[in-house]
């Protein structure tokens, strides 16, 4: 089916890469192993040669007669690059464009999809530098397979263990064999709250958990779309096959959304973006308790959805979907937003209900377009996500963007 370059870097999880190679072969893929110098301290190259029936690439300048350009040749012939395990060192190289061995050079040279499976000590995984590097790779389109919690080789118990080989194999297989009605489409989704800091400790925020946006991202990925998820602070796990950009403020979300909008077929703004932000921005020092009454001047935050409507003026795409979270007259307010912001669809929901809205698994909503209103019953956010994407697919078809047949 496809040729997978299996990059093996120097961690104890390297022994599991042997099982990954075998699993990919069982799925019908060919595998060529690329081992770093450190990886060879854990598993011998002969093991991979025996399984893959191909020479193992060990060094930038020791493979073949034209070794100096071998990374270019391989980069153009592979269908996917998988790195398992991906150590903190290798992740850092990828994130910052360091090309000092064959694997890191191959990463920069290939246009094929890239999947990495991090594995390291818990403290290393949680270090701010590693987190930033993983976020940067996700932003650049690298698929990151979450590590698992359990007993680590160092004797600790926590997150950082390499994902199970079967999970890694199925992830790569899904990348190589995408299916679904939205195959070939790009969907941008926002989720979660935004936090507007007014000093180093305090912020203005809201109770959004991000569940609705994450449910939408999961559904879009199931339908085969390329999914870009721009999310405010949440504690939710990242959905499979989703590119994630993490932001904090409305201004940061605005930048992230506008950076991707031209490549998208649809934008769904499910995030609870702040309406206001502190006029003076974030103070350098904590606001000291003193006066009984404190006044913080606020200004309007960027209205991302309204700007998208203006930006799209005269264009068919992207399809624009908004959310209207209200405590009363939700449908009437939503209709006004639909018109004012030039949307194709708006989802109106009454967040005053205890079983709908923020931080619960269910929602009650009305899907409102220019031509009709579709009142949905109390249902899970996953089911509502399906309903929303059924409508989005109908709009795309009407606009002349044919969908793939369901596989």
Q: Which domains does the chain have, with CATH numbers?
A: 3-176 (3.40.50.1950), 186-398 (3.40.50.10300)
Percentage of the residues of the chain whose pLDDT score is greater than 70? 94
pLDDT confidence band for 66 (50 / 70 / 90)? very low
| pLDDT at 61 (0 to 100) | 56
The whole-number average pLDDT for the span 109-121 is 91
Which tens digit of pLDDT belongs to each residue from 248-267?
999 999 999 999 999 999 99
User: Which residue did the predictor score with more confidence, 68 or 390?
Assistant: 390
pTM: 0.61
Name the region of 390 (left: φ>0; alpha: ψ -120 to 50; beta: rest): alpha
Radius of gyration of the chain (CA): 24
Residue 106 near residue 34, CB atoms below 8 Å: yes
The whole-number average pLDDT for the span 204-220 is 92
407 has a pLDDT exceeding 80:
no
pLDDT confidence band for 290 (50 / 70 / 90)? confident
Which of 154, 186, 264, 327 is the catalytic position?
A: 154
310 has a pLDDT exceeding 80:
yes
94-103, 151-160, 289-298, 323-332, range with the lowest pLDDT: 151-160
* Known active-site residue 154: yes
The whole-number average pLDDT for the span 292-308 is 91
70 has a pLDDT exceeding 70:
no
38 has a pLDDT exceeding 50:
yes
């Amino acid at each position: 089916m496809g040729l997978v370059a299996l990059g093996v870097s120097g961690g104890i999880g390297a022994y599991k890469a042997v099982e990954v190679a075998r699993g990919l072969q069982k799925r019908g893929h060919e595998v060529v192993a690329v081992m770093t110098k450190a990886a060879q301290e854990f598993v011998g190259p002969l093991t991979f040669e025996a399984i893959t029936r191909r020479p193992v690439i060990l060094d930038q300048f020791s493979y073949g007669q034209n070794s100096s350009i071998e990374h270019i040749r391989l980069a153009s012939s592979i269908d996917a690059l998988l790195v398992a395990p991906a150590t903190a060192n290798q992740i850092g190289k990828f994130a910052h464009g360091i090309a000092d061995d064959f694997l890191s050079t191959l990463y920069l040279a290939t246009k094929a999809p890239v999947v990495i499976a991090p594995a390291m000590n818990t403290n290393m995984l949680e270090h701010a530098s590693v987190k930033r590097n993983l976020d940067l790779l996700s932003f650049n389109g690298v698929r990151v397979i979450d590590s698992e919690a359990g007993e680590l080789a160092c004797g600790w118990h926590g997150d950082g263990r390499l994902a199970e080989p079967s999970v890694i194999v199925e992830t790569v297989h899904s990348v190589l064999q995408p299916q679904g009605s939205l195959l070939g489409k790009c969907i941008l989704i926002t989720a979660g709250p935004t936090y507007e800091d007014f000093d180093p400790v305090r912020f203005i925020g809201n109770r959004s958990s991000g569940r609705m946006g994450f449910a939408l991202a999961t559904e879009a990925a199931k339908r085969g779309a390329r999914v870009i998820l721009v999310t405010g602070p949440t504690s939710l796990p990242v959905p499979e096959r989703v590119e994630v950009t993490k932001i904090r403020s409305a201004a940061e979300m605005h930048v992230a959304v506008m950076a991707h909008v031209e490549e998208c077929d649809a934008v769904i703004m499910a995030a609870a973006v702040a309406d206001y932000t502190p006029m003076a921005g974030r103070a350098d020092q904590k606001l000291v308790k003193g006066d009984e009454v404190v006044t913080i001047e606020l200004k309007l935050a960027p209205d991302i959805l309204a700007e998208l409507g203006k930006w799209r003026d005269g264009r068919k795409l992207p399809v624009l979907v908004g959310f209207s979270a209200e405590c009363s007259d939700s449908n009437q307010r939503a209709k006004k937003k639909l018109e004012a912001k030039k949307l194709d669809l708006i989802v109106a929901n009454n967040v005053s209900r205890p079983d709908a809205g923020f931080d619960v698994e269910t929602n009650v909503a009305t899907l409102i377009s220019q031509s009709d209103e579709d009142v949905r019953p109390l249902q899970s956010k996953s089911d509502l996500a399906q309903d929303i994407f059924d409508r989005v697919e109908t709009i795309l078809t009407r606009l002349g963007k044919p969908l793939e047949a369901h596989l």
